[in-house]
Amino acid sequence: MSSSDLAVRVRGLGKRYQIYERPEDRLKQAIVPRVRRLFGLAPLAYFRDFLALDDVSFEIRRGETVGVIGRNGAGKSTLLQILCGTLTPSQGEVDVGGRIAALLELGSGFNPDFTGRENVYLNAAVLGLSREQIDARFSRIAAFADIGDVLEQPIKTYSSGMVMRLAFSVVAHVDADILVIDEALSVGDAYFTQKCMRFLRDFMTRGTVIFVSHDTGAIVNLCQRVVWLEGGRIKAIGEPRDLMDLYLADHYRQLQGESLVERPVHEPESSVDEDFHDARRDLLLSSTLRNDIEAFRFDAGRAGFGIGGATLLDVSLCDGRGRTLSWIVGGEDVTLRIRARANVDMASPIIGFLVKDRLGQYLFGDNTYLSYASRPLAVSGGGYLQASFRFRMPILPKGDYSFEVAIADGSQSDHVQHHWMHDALVIKSHASSTVNGLVGIPMREVKLNVGVTAGNERLSSGVTHA
């Protein structure tokens, strides 16, 4: 591979720290060895060496997204700081081709006494932009951060979420060639996280990304290759799915015997549908790992696109009686209700939705087209539409999720998009029995039989929860 094809080349990289047991040892180290050398004596060391990185070598191609995994203390953050130039290696070489922007500890480079505006200019200049370039992009940076007049206040008055928004906004507008991310996407509200993911996925189509995360799903979904660090050394480099299987197996071997029970702190307004078998329904509702999901209100001001021939007016999750739900239990029947207004005549309106997780991965969705393909329901300009989708809410792992909704005119293969709204409805899963996979499926029956043979003969009655 030629050097022009490489975004990053790391060769024999090492980072050594001197660890002192007591504060006075640092003073001794500064004085005593010099005095001993004056008298021709061998110097003494009052510290012990700690190798945060040891002989690390790898290459990253241009346009590639590479994940870096490893347990706490493995050397991940040290590696990223060296790549970004904020740490000097003790040994080895690092070659970086292009402008690099980092999302490490968001806002760590901000001056707390400067206003948000002043910090935008300071950070963008550090990342290589001229004053004229920053002037031209400032309005877009401010709009992306979306913190309003707070931008003119000192950073020390900001919440951590506001600092995160502003820092990400600067990085998103500096035209970097390489983007380095260290767990930065795991904080922030659901709306801004989705905005960040849209930017990241767009950046991945043209730039190089180095991504550190403990979120195995994010690594598999976003990365083409993975570098596994352990004890400051590279343990393996390979394909995400294969390497994550090995990493998780190694991780769980070290966690054997540990368990965690999480307890929900809210009561939902509705219960699981009545056709659940009573025994299993009672177990589901009383479980400390019940899937409690909070539903937020529709926000008509969310970002979207379309030619404007229709407007989405409301999106809500409802129970069987049509009441809007603010709390849901994974496994219960719910109805997604979408209301819209036609601004022009529409011969074959289609309303649909998609549910995505915080990484922007689409989990499920549907639309009204197939139900009315043979008999389209036309609507005149000024008329109103309401679509209803009744489904069993899956059991969602803890985290934030959002509904994208849209209204179009035509067919699934040939239509005009009138209004598509990102993150129209956000839900948050607070507690869940599902820890692996994207969703859990509500089981209708779970059965265990105990027998004395490997086959089906002589099976005794087992315990059944249905």
CATH number at 278-431: 2.70.50.60
For residues 202 and 440, give the distance between their C-alpha atoms in angstroms, rounded to a whole number.
29
Q: Above 60 in pLDDT, residue 266?
A: no
3-class state of residue 119 by DSSP: helix
Q: What is the fold, at CATH topology level, of the domain defined by 63-254?
A: Rossmann fold (3.40.50)
Q: Using one digit for the tens of pLDDT, what is the confidence trace for 57-75?
A: 999 999 999 999 988 889 9
3-class state of residue 266 by DSSP: coil
% helix / strand / coil in the chain, to the nearest 5? 25, 35, 35
Q: Above 60 in pLDDT, residue 161?
A: yes
Q: What single letter denotes the amino acid at residue 144?
A: F
| Percent of the chain residues topping a pLDDT of 70 | 83
Look at 26-35, 232-241, 329-338 and tell me which has the smallest mean pLDDT.
Answer: 26-35
The torsion angle over the Cα atoms of residues 374, 380, 381 and 382, rounded to 10 degrees, is -110
Cβ atoms within 10 Å, residue 378: 12
pLDDT for the residue numbered 411: 87
Higher-scoring residue by pLDDT: 216, 199: 199
Most confident segment among 175-179, 324-328, 382-386, 437-441: 382-386
Higher-scoring residue by pLDDT: 408, 297: 408
Burial class (CB in 10 A: 0-12, 13-18, 19+), 225: middle
For residues 350 and 373, give the distance between their C-alpha atoms in angstroms, rounded to a whole number.
10
Q: Is 162 left (phi over 0), alpha (psi -120 to 50) or beta?
A: alpha
Average pLDDT over residues 115-142: 91
Cβ atoms within 10 Å, residue 63: 15
Higher-scoring residue by pLDDT: 149, 436: 149
pLDDT for the residue numbered 351: 95
Is-contact 210 181, C-beta < 8 A? Answer: yes
Considering the entire predicted model, what is its pTM? 0.61
Give 198's Cβ-side CA count (13 Å radius): 14
3-class state of residue 96 by DSSP: strand
Two structure tokens written together for 434 = 């599902």
Average pLDDT, the chain: 81
For residues 123 and 354, give the distance between their C-alpha atoms in angstroms, rounded to a whole number.
37
3-class state of residue 84 by DSSP: helix
- Provide the angle, in degrees to the nearest 10, between the axes of the packed helices 131-145 and 160-171: 130
Q: Using one digit for the tens of pLDDT, what is the confidence trace for 392-425?
A: 888 888 888 989 899 999 988 888 899 988 888 9
E strand intervals along 4-132:
6-19, 48-61, 65-69, 91-96, 100-103
- The sign one gets for the Cα dihedral 99, 160, 151, 185 is positive
Residue burial 117-126, b: 16+ Cβ < 10 Å; e: rest: ebbbbbbbee
Domain boundaries along the sequence of the chain = 63-254, 278-431
Q: Using one digit for the tens of pLDDT, what is the confidence trace for 204-225?
A: 989 999 988 877 777 877 889 9
Q: Above 70 in pLDDT, residue 282?
A: no
The radius of gyration computed from the CA coordinates of the chain, to the nearest angstrom, equals: 28
pLDDT for the residue numbered 20: 85
Nearest to 379 by CA among 407, 402, 355, 353: 407
Q: Using one digit for the tens of pLDDT, what is the confidence trace for 10-38?
A: 999 999 888 888 888 888 888 888 887 88
| DSSP result, 269-288 | SS---TTS-HHHHHHHHH-T
Q: Above 90 in pLDDT, residue 133?
A: yes
